[in-house]
DNA sequence: GAAACGACTGATAGCGCTACCATCAAGCCT
DNA sequence: AGGCTTGATGGTAGCGCTATCAGTCGTTTC
């Protein structure tokens, strides 16, 4: 009774599991952390005991004992709430498994350096860099000069021996363009993403490549600049749709801008998709919440975030041993999701 | 050197601070946890030492020693990414301070019970219930039967000795309606929120009250049902705007539906705000990302989330001592944010 | 004036886990 | 055969903090 005063709800500890399995706590610890040197039979007994009690290790104790970095920084300034939301879900999901803390740090357009400093001061062991920060020179330099591990999400470039998780933006954009071409579209407008992000260039390059491949001319007046926000998609869309020879399809570099294109099309009395096809990129929740639902490129953001966490934690562990994962990038599979915003060209 | 092998980056511990301040570690601990019985002068010395080293306590150790519940469950199924995003930011911000873990758990339309079970199995000490779950009979009952502390965010009803953080939806909606009336609008359409959420009823009641107050008739054909999603706002908007006598203003029960109204208005060649004023509710990022930016009710979601966390942690602590905070609800201040989607009635 | 009290501080003993040996049996070499 | 690894375990000693209790003082109370 005296003890229970000091103890949480989860009364079952490693010792009890060990006792039940007839081994020492140390062996249980080994089984849990997947150590190799445990006899298969012993392992089985321990596993049974674990299941018997529904035991799950105490994260705080583990972290304390390991002197593990419990803290992962997540720098953000992504304008798309939908994207951020998915990212957060992925990150949190993994943090739950890994038992680590997420320190969210918002950073203004010029505040990258300060934000990094702040996270460092709070003792993070590594940092996750979602777009558009994953392309920020300042942020990356600040991180590198501190020699703190980080993983870039959805960036196109991999520098030094950094870590990155991304999809093949070039191929994805090319695929989507091919899809439009296959639908009979010959006049395909393109709204580019923010110029400071590598993915923007990749997507544009993919679009160009697919056009060339189909021997369609690249018409400069059908390519407009946006910056990944809904708002930034409005003017380009209007320009494209009020041009003397207007495109029969618009490929926006992300869903937010595609949504803007839909809104402009409606304002101009153009029906989507019968008179105009519109496609986006990312497959954020926005794509399915508007009407008509967007045909878009599914980028498994949550999955990518999860992987980013995994990679980062691995690297932190390696670093502690004086090693490093070295340059490593994980390319995820994308998918063309066909919905209601596309139809055969008239 | 032998020791440092076992130790994280954050070399400075309580002992060093204590030594520097010429007190025992225990006293430092007292200062940090804000214990009353410390001589002001001692406290000052300790504070100085803390600042000197830039010391910050090790969360893992603290949680271990306190046997504190490191886990807070966050059930979610909110369709609005923008809302969720803000909520997450607030929750994570506080979790950083409090040093606790967030376990995200998505729950399907019928999965409330299962989701609660899962969180319990993972040993959460309390649960945060954002809308629309904060109005879910099933979820609340599941929580109550388990006697696990929870805090309802943005719900209108407070039951038993529960905890809640919300704004005064009735007053907020009334204020907004008054604002429209002050602009000269006499024909004000209303799009209701999901019927299973108490806030929907409150907002509608506020709208009605303001009309009555201004001696304007409540016209049933100007009140339509939505369900808080963008999509659900489309049909009601269209119905309102194609009615024989159409409203000069539309008050949607949240920003997502207001955005839908804007899109429909554009499709029908109605300029916002010169021909039609549209207002939303919540002030999610969506409100400012679309064009024109929405006049809306600012609901400090992040702040509310932070407070919810605080309340919940407090309650968990109380429970551990055998007490309870009792019924307690925190009413936050709302604000009418005037942007570009409203203008004087023609 | 002695007992009792209160404000303040320190020593001690864990919280639940893992790193780091030590151990001990079984193979393997020269 | 004696010293080697090598594989599988257990014992021990913390990780950095806090709860608890045991003091040490001045101050109050009867």
SS3 string of A6-53? HCCCCCCCHHHHHHHHCCCHHHHHHHHCCCCCCCHHHHHHHHHHHHHH
Residue B97 CA distance to nucleotide D1 C1' (Å)? 66
In DSSP terms, A128 is beta-bridged to: A74, A151
Q: Does A291 touch chain B (CB under 8 A)?
A: yes
Please state the rounded mean pLDDT for residues A318-344: 87
> Which nucleotide is nearest, taking the CA of residue A64 and each C1'?
D15
Interface mutation target, options B93, B260, B289, B341, chain A, most CBs of A under 10 Å: B289
Give the closest residue to A174 by CA, choosing from A209, A212, A199. Answer: A209
Residue whose entry in the numeric block shows the structure tokens 């910056």: A227
Secondary structure string (H, E, C) spanning A113-132: HHHHHHHHHCCCCEEEECCC
A296 pLDDT above the threshold of 70: yes
Q: Which of residues 41-100 of A touch strand D (CB under 7 A)?
A: 42, 61, 64-65, 67
CA atoms of A74 and A71, how far apart (whole Å): 10
Q: How confident is the model at residue B161 (pLDDT cuts 50, 70, 90)?
A: confident
A262 Cα to chain B: minimum distance (Å):
9
Q: Residue A94 has which token pair?
A: 């993994």
Residue B6 CA distance to nucleotide D13 C1' (Å)? 12
Q: How confident is the model at residue B296 (pLDDT cuts 50, 70, 90)?
A: very high
Residue A228: closest C-alpha in chain B: B289
Cβ within 8 Å, pair B10-A123: yes
How many beta-carbon pairs under 8 angstroms link A with B?
Answer: 140
CA atoms of A244 and A247, how far apart (whole Å): 10
CA atoms of A340 and A205, how far apart (whole Å): 26
B242 pLDDT above the threshold of 50: yes
The pLDDT of residue B331: 93
Q: What share of chain B is helix, strand, coil (3-state, %, to 5)?
A: 50, 15, 35
Q: Nearest residue to C15, CA vs C1'? A: B65
Q: How confident is the model at residue B8 (pLDDT cuts 50, 70, 90)?
A: very low
Tell if A25 CB is < 7 Å from nucleic strand C: yes
On strand C, nucleotides with any atom < 7 Å from a protein CB are 7-12, 14-20
Q: Which of residues 203-232 of A touch strand C (CB under 7 A)?
A: none
Polymer length in residues for chain B:
346
pTM exceeds cut of 0.95: no
Q: How confident is the model at residue B2 (pLDDT cuts 50, 70, 90)?
A: very low
CA atoms of A149 and B163, how far apart (whole Å): 40
DSSP character at residue B245? S
Q: How confident is the model at residue A70 (pLDDT cuts 50, 70, 90)?
A: low
More confident residue, B318 or B216: B216
DSSP character at residue A333? P
CA atoms of B140 and B68, how far apart (whole Å): 24
């Amino acid at each position: 009774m005296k003890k229970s005063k000091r103890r949480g709800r989860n009364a079952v500890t490693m010792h009890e599991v060990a006792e039940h399995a007839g081994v020492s706590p140390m062996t249980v610890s080994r089984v849990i952390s997947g150590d190799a040197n445990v006899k298969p039979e012993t392992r089985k007994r321990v596993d049974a005991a674990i299941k018997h009690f529904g035991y799950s290790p105490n994260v705080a104790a583990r972290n304390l004992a390991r002197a593990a970095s419990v803290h992962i920084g997540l720098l953000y300034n992504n304008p798309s709430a939908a994207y951020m939301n998915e990212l957060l879900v992925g990150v949190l999901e993994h943090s739950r498994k890994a038992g680590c803390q997420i320190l969210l740090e918002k950073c203004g357009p010029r505040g990258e350096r300060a934000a990094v400093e702040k996270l460092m001061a709070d003792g993070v062991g590594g940092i996750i860099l979602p777009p558009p920060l994953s392309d920020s020179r300042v942020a990356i330099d600040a991180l590198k000069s501190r020699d703190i591990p980080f993983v870039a999400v959805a960036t196109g470039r991999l520098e030094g021996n950094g870590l990155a998780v991304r999809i093949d933006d070039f191929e994805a954009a090319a695929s989507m363009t091919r899809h439009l071409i296959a639908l009979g579209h010959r006049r395909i407008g393109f709204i580019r993403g923010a110029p400071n992000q590598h993915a923007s260039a990749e997507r544009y390059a993919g679009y160009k490549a697919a056009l060339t491949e189909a021997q369609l001319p690249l018409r400069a007046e059908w390519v407009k600049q946006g910056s990944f926000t809904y708002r930034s998609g409005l003017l380009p869309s209007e320009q494209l749709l009020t041009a003397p020879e207007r495109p029969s399809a618009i490929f926006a570099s992300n869903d937010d801008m595609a949504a803007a294109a839909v809104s402009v099309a409606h304002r101009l009395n153009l029906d989507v998709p019968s008179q105009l096809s519109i496609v986006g990129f990312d497959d954020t929740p926005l794509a399915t919440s508007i009407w008509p639902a967007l045909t878009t490129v599914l980028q498994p953001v949550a999955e990518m975030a999860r992987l980013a966490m995994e990679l980062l934690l691995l690297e932190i562990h390696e670093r502690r041993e004086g090693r490093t994962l070295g340059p490593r990038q994980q390319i995820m599979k994308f998918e063309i999701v066909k919905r209601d915003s596309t139809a055969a060209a008239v």
